[in-house]
């Protein structure tokens, strides 16, 4: 399932970059959001297989 699309919801840019460094080379397509609001907009578009989210964000 390396062609899956993963949505990363994280307000810290360095953590989003870390997920990118680890997951993209494995063949995953990554979408990133820095807030819950931005994540909801991406989710509405569909096509997301997995969401990885920060539970404590400033926004």
pTM of the model: 0.89
Domain ranges of the chain: 5-53
SS3 per residue for the chain: CCCCEEEEECCCHHHHHHHHHHHHHHCCEEEEECCHHHHHHHHHHCCCCEEEECCCCCC
33: number of Cβ within 10 Å: 21
Superfamily of domain 5-53: Response regulator (3.40.50.2300)
List, in sequence order, every residue forming a beta bridge with 8; answer none if it has no partner.
Answer: 32, 52
Structure tokens at 7: 């949505």
Closest by CA position to 59, among listed 31, 21, 33, 25? 33
11-47, pLDDT tens digit by residue? Answer: 999 999 999 999 999 999 999 999 999 999 999 999 9
């Amino acid at each position: 399932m390396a062609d899956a699309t993963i949505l990363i919801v994280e307000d810290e840019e360095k953590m989003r970059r870390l997920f990118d460094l680890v997951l993209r080379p494995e063949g995953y397509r990554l979408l990133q959001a820095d807030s819950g609001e931005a994540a909801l907009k991406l989710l509405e578009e569909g096509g997301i297989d997995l969401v990885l989210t920060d539970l404590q964000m400033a926004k």
